[in-house]
Amino acid sequence: MTIQAVPATTVIRRAYRLTLDPTPRQAQMLSHWAGAARAMYNHSISAKQESHKRWLQEVAFATYGPVALTEEQARKTIRIPIPSTPDFNAWLTGTRNFHREAAGKGLPVPGLRDDGREHEPWLHAVNRSALVGGLRNADRAWNNWMASFKGIRAGRRVGYPRFKKRGVARDSFTITHDRKSPGIRLATTRRLRIPTFGEIRFHDHAKHLQRKIRRGTVEITSVTVSRHGHRWYASLAVEETIPVPRLSKRKRTAGIIGVDLGVHTLAALSNGDLIANPKIKASHARKLARLQKRLARSQKGSRTWKQLVHKIGRLAHLEARQREGYAHDLANRLVKTWAGIGIEDLNVAGMTRSARGTIEKPGRNVHAKAGLNRSILDVAPAQIRRILEYKTAWSGTCLVVIGRFEPTSKKCSACGVEKDKLPRKERIFHCDACGLTLDRDINAAINIAALADVATAELPVSIRRGIVHGRHETPVEPPRANPFPTRAGNGRRRNVDRPARVIFAQ
């Protein structure tokens, strides 16, 4: 009898983004579908705003008269429900049926709004799921605003939901996979099948994804089709079964790395490596400037003007893709090499705030600060952080986020003495106390590594394993009973609980 080794697996949600290559007619149809989703979004937002306005009026009304309530009481007692996706179901069915019948008879169909606008031929031609996707996005926007307003949502303030405008909002629609009639699938490795829409060619191919689907490790849950620049993309959201992340011996031996994301260099590592800043923005600056000059001199709305807008959009898109590529490269390199990665919790929104000030209190060095902001955004530290977060979770590497106010750059990594001041232009860190002379970013990276090391010291040995900076040994663990012995039977292969990989060190 042979005992089958039970592989330890876990299911993650991720997305595969594939470039589409629609025919001109298909590209137009994609725009129509995105337009339909946008119309649903706007319809929902409008209904929500309407209810909200009515509620505000009634609250105001209740605070007047002989039996006036206080505003607080009024806010608590008056309830007007805000319509959400399920409330639009019957309306959507009715309207679609009506449009379908009218279109069949060749009759003009009244518009979505009762303002005498002509009919929307797409409403019954578009997959219902794409329309519901628009409604759902509106729910999300509304809930985010509410949560932010009530102060139960972290991060920057979310504004009052606005309408999406054609040509301004991103063209996109989402179709969810219906398990009963699974419509989204790869027709071939070169063609994506979208229900109701049909088949669209990929720009390249999806062999890697097809293989995983055939093997049964990947299941498609939804597809979001969106336009960026001149390209259409399909982002396939999937549930993927992967082996439980485990640290390889090589990574355990490598230990923790500290990473200082910077402007001067893309990243400085605590082992002394400097990764150069690709300076993406600068590489396109001349071309962009030339296009913008021509745009400024052309007649707004003219044929040339439209072409130039298209070209500028294309350039911006190319830039974003390049930036993303560099971020992925860096993250891959870090995640594949180290058992633990320490990074700083950078407040990018705060860091890149304008120095302009107010009329009463004008800021100083506004121009220089604007340049620095551009450089920070050119490196996109928040994007690198986001990519690191999921890549570490999939690979078993531990990500340690160092508190925002730790003095990582002003502190000497050798003796720990802190400087009062360290001007940004000083590239070399020189310690007056011990004489250490080092690249300032590498000095910061070493401090980050040390802090990450302290932060992970409390972790159970099973997670921490060999994550000890500079110490090349694996802590000895007592052997445990293994319910699923492998061929070797050494009790090593077991289904370990997946620990929270992102650690916030404050």
Minimum distance from residue 415 beta carbon to Zn ion (Å): 3
Minimum distance from residue 345 beta carbon to Zn ion (Å): 25
434 or 500: whose CB is closer to Zn ion?
434
6 or 417: whose CB is closer to Zn ion?
417
Minimum distance from residue 413 beta carbon to Zn ion (Å): 8
Confirm if 161 and 145 have CB atoms less than 8 A apart.
Answer: yes
Sign of the C-alpha dihedral computed for residues 461, 464, 465 and 468 taken in this order: negative
174 or 270: whose CB is closer to Zn ion?
270
Distance CA 337, CA 317 (A): 31
35 or 258: whose CB is closer to Zn ion?
258
Phi/psi at 69 (5° precision):
-95, 160
Minimum distance from residue 269 beta carbon to Zn ion (Å): 20
Minimum distance from residue 432 beta carbon to Zn ion (Å): 8
393 or 438: whose CB is closer to Zn ion?
438
Please identify which residue in the block is written with the tokens 């003796």: 415
3-state secondary structure of 111: coil
199 or 439: whose CB is closer to Zn ion?
439
Distance CA 330, CA 333 (A): 5
328 or 419: whose CB is closer to Zn ion?
419
47 or 431: whose CB is closer to Zn ion?
431
Minimum distance from residue 259 beta carbon to Zn ion (Å): 22
Beta bridge partners of 269: 259
Minimum distance from residue 410 beta carbon to Zn ion (Å): 11
Report the interface residues with Zn ion, using CB under 5 A. Answer: 412, 414-415, 431, 433-434, 436
Token pair recorded at residue 388? 């690191």
Minimum distance from residue 424 beta carbon to Zn ion (Å): 20
242 or 414: whose CB is closer to Zn ion?
414
236 or 412: whose CB is closer to Zn ion?
412
Token pair recorded at residue 210? 């097809």
126-162 burial, b if ≥16 CB within 10 A, otherwise e? bbebbbbbbbbbbbebbeebeebeeeeeeeeebeebe
Measuring CA to CA, how many Å separate 285 from each of 261, 308, 378? 23, 15, 12
Confirm if 389 and 502 have CB atoms less than 8 A apart.
Answer: yes
Q: For the residues of 83-95, what is the DSSP string, one character each?
A: P-HHHHHHHHHHH
Distance CA 388, CA 336 (A): 11
Phi/psi at 285 (5° precision):
-55, -45
433 or 496: whose CB is closer to Zn ion?
433
Minimum distance from residue 447 beta carbon to Zn ion (Å): 11
Minimum distance from residue 433 beta carbon to Zn ion (Å): 5
Measuring CA to CA, how many Å separate 183 from each of 93, 129, 218, 496? 20, 11, 15, 36
Confirm if 136 and 85 have CB atoms less than 8 A apart.
Answer: yes
Token pair recorded at residue 333? 């390199």
Minimum distance from residue 443 beta carbon to Zn ion (Å): 9
Please identify which residue in the block is written with the tokens 């008056």: 78
Distance CA 199, CA 25 (A): 12
Distance CA 346, CA 385 (A): 9
